[in-house]
Amino acid sequence: MSAHVRRAGTVAVVGRPNAGKSTLVNALVGTKVAIVSDKPQTTRRRLLGIRTDAEGQIVFVDTPGLHKPLHRLNKAMMNEALEALREEDVRLLVVDVSVPSGGGDRFALDLLARAEGPRIAVLNKIDQVSRAALLPRLEAVSRAGIFEDIVPVSALTGEGLDLLVPVIRRHLPEGEDLFPAATVTNSDTKTRAAELIREKFLERTREEIPYGLGVFVEEVRRDEAKDLTVIKATVVVDRDSHKGIVLGAGGRLLREAGTAARLELEQALGGRFYLELLVAARPGWREDPRFLDTLTS
Ligand SMILES: Nc1nc2c(ncn2[C@@H]2O[C@H](COP(=O)(O)OP(=O)(O)OP(=O)(O)O)[C@@H](O)[C@H]2O)c(=O)[nH]1
Ligand SMILES: [Mg+2]
């Protein structure tokens, strides 16, 4: 009998904006490590989601959606995805089958075709389509001829995920874990807070606001006397007229988003938090390298 072999490696999770990459990573890790929203371009930087079990360790690298960048921010986001495509052991393309295939899918397939190493296609959101509608999507992805495996799943309901995990693992090198078993992400408190705060504003705003919204945490400080962690953050919008929208009438939206972020931080990290949120308009911040460095560092 052969000895039990552990496998460990990294998986770049890429695809069009809104395909469900972050939802998939959260589901496979079993913990919410990445923020999720119904708006495209939610994820702006690479983020690790680490799954450790009896068979080994899978380090998922969640990435921003593949798109044609218009702002410097979006160029930085695309670079994050392209670097993950180059560097990780396995490339996993997430395709949203609930929306028609189009130029965005071809763009993603072309990028994957140029990447080296094992490739897996995940057809996501199968809870939204009939089997009859799924078949042509399966055939189209299969025709690309670049995937070792194609797995239909619903990251939302969990359907198909038990089949996906062994498929991914097959392509990983034998070896010891890359991170301590209890580690689920590489994101520190500062980053997690910034992301969670942004998520709560994405949930409460629409149209162009989400794209121009950035959250910058200036300070994370322990207040031992009060036994809580104080977080000071600025919610930056792209236009002066957007400030009022993010504040809401009488500052209500800001308060509600802040409370929601605080509760989730307390649940995720334990202990008590106090959030101090400011709103500022910084027209053109998405072109400003000083802002972008803190976003993608
Ligand atoms: N019905 C359904 N919805 C899903 C599924 N997976 C994700 N979603 C939804 O799709 C939307 C986008 O999910 P995200 O996980 O943020 O997508 P993403 O690919 O990370 O998006 P970006 O970070 O913007 O590129 C959210 O509203 C999710 O709830 C699924 O399997 N079924
Ligand atoms: Mg995402």
Residue 13 covered by a domain: yes
Per the structure, the count of domains in the chain is 2
Residues 242 and 283 reside in one and the same domain: yes
Do residues 135 and 106 touch, judged by C-beta distance below 8 A? Answer: no
Residue 260 covered by a domain: yes
Residues 95 and 208 reside in one and the same domain: no
Pocket test for ligand 1, best of 13, 16, 23 (most atoms within 8 A of CB): 23
* 21 ligand 1 Cβ < 6 A: yes
pTM of the model: 0.97
d(CA 129, CA 4): 39
Residues 280 and 136 reside in one and the same domain: no
* 26 ligand 1 Cβ < 6 A: no
> pLDDT digits over 224-234, tens only?
999 999 999 99
Residue by residue, pLDDT tens for the chain (297 residues) are 456 799 999 999 999 999 999 999 999 999 999 999 999 999 999 999 999 999 999 999 999 999 999 999 999 999 999 999 999 999 999 999 999 999 999 999 999 999 999 999 999 999 999 999 999 999 999 999 999 999 999 999 999 999 999 999 999 999 999 999 999 999 999 999 999 999 999 999 999 999 999 999 999 999 999 999 999 999 999 999 999 999 999 999 999 999 999 999 999 999 999 999 999 999 999 999 888 877 654
Residue 178 covered by a domain: no
Residues 148 and 41 reside in one and the same domain: yes
DSSP E strands in 185-292: the ranges are: 214-223, 228-237, 273-281
Q: Ligand 1: which residue has its CA nearest to atom 8?
A: 20
Instruction: Give the residue from 54, 8, 15 showing the smallest Cα distance to 155.
Output: 15
Residues 34 and 165 reside in one and the same domain: yes
- Cα of 228 to ligand 1 centre, how many Å? 33
- Domain span at residue 72 reads 7-170
Residues 155 and 196 reside in one and the same domain: no
Burial 27-43 (b: 16+ CB within 10 A, else e): bbbeebbbbbbebbbbb
Please give the helix or strand (H or E) that residue 75 lies within, else none: helix 72-87
Residue 20 covered by a domain: yes
* 42 ligand 1 Cβ < 6 A: yes
Q: Ligand 1: which residue has its CA nearest to atom 26?
A: 38
Residues 60 and 143 reside in one and the same domain: yes
Do residues 39 and 19 touch, judged by C-beta distance below 8 A? Answer: no
